[in-house]
């Protein structure tokens, strides 16, 4: 299910991100103080941790946009410790405060992205764990954060709700990373939408078939893959842990 590379520009992704952010905000707005303390799908994290992470993720990408426009050299985060510390410190707040923080951070990023100069999207910025890469990735990666972590809130938003463009884009990206990972098991993925094969490894592994969304949900650890079909019949391969 290849996506159209021509639609990968930040300007083309932004409308989809606005819609995804609005859906996330509607879900977050319905959570009570008790409900934000409930476990998320991420081990050791409550829903409050996920909401705080999303807000800080938006802030970190806003820093990258500012850096690209001003040549300030601002990193996404100083280090992993800063990232985790900010999440832990913010997760104890009431639901209303979490909601206001999320709303402010997402809209600040969306506004900055919408105003970003067209000739500044290729400026190299300091990504956490990724070195210097173009700032253009801030918009697509924020879409990934919003959709996947919306699912992590465990409120009913799942792979079937992920936008088709996002699914196609992320499935290709995820398979590319699997091909580069020496511990990834050999397998061939077949999406119902186009029946094309995405091969990982030497092709000696089983063929796993299902909708593109369900394949991506399984590869990212957001579903158990039980609705997928394996041929020859047997257990699903075990993909390595996925990190957004």
Tokens coding 244:
């957004």
Phi–psi pair at 139, nearest 5 degrees: -75, -50
Give the pLDDT score at 244: 61
Which pLDDT band, with edges at 50, 70 and 90, does 2 fall under? Answer: very low
Average pLDDT, the chain: 93
The pLDDT tens digits for 213-243 are 999 999 999 999 999 999 999 999 999 998 7
Q: Is the pLDDT higher at 131 or at 210?
A: 210
- Percentage of the chain beyond pLDDT 90 is 84
Tens-digit pLDDT profile for residues 168-204 = 999 999 999 999 999 999 999 999 988 789 999 987 8
Residue 88: partners with Cβ closer than 8 Å, 6 or more residues away: 49
**165 Cβ partners below 8 Å, 6+ apart?**
3, 7, 16
Class of 164-231 in CATH: alpha beta
Rounded (10°) angle between helices 10-29 and 95-115? 170
Averaged over 17-34, what is the pLDDT? 98
- pLDDT of residue 8 exceeding 80, the answer is no
Domain ranges of the chain: 5-157, 164-231
| Predicted confidence band of residue 3 (pLDDT cuts 50, 70, 90) | very low
C-alpha span between 203 and 207 (Å, rounded): 9
CATH code of domain 5-157: 1.20.120.450
């Amino acid at each position: 299910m290849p996506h159209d590379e021509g639609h990968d520009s930040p300007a083309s992704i932004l409308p989809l991100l606005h819609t995804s952010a609005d859906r996330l905000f509607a879900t977050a707005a319905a959570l009570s103080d008790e409900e934000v303390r409930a476990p998320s799908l991420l081990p050791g994290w409550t829903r409050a941790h996920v909401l705080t992470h999303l807000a800080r993720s938006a802030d970190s990408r806003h820093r990258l946009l500012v850096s690209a426009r001003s040549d300030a050299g601002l990193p996404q985060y100083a280090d992993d410790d800063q990232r985790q510390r900010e999440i832990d410190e913010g997760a104890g707040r009431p639901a209303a405060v979490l909601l206001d923080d999320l709303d402010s951070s997402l809209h600040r990023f969306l506004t900055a992205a919408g105003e970003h100069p067209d000739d500044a999207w290729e400026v190299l910025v300091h990504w956490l764990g990724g070195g210097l890469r173009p700032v253009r990735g801030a918009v697509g990666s924020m879409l990934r954060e919003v959709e996947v972590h919306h699912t992590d809130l465990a409120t009913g938003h799942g792979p079937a709700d992920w936008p088709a463009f996002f699914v196609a884009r992320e499935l290709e990206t995820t398979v590319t990373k699997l091909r580069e990972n020496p511990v990834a098991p050999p397998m061939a993925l077949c999406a119902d939408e186009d029946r094309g094969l995405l091969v990982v490894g030497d092709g000696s592994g089983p063929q796993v078939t299902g909708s593109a969304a369900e394949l991506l949900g399984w590869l990212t650890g957001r579903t158990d893959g039980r609705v997928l079909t394996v041929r020859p019949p047997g257990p699903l391969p075990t993909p390595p842990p996925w990190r957004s």
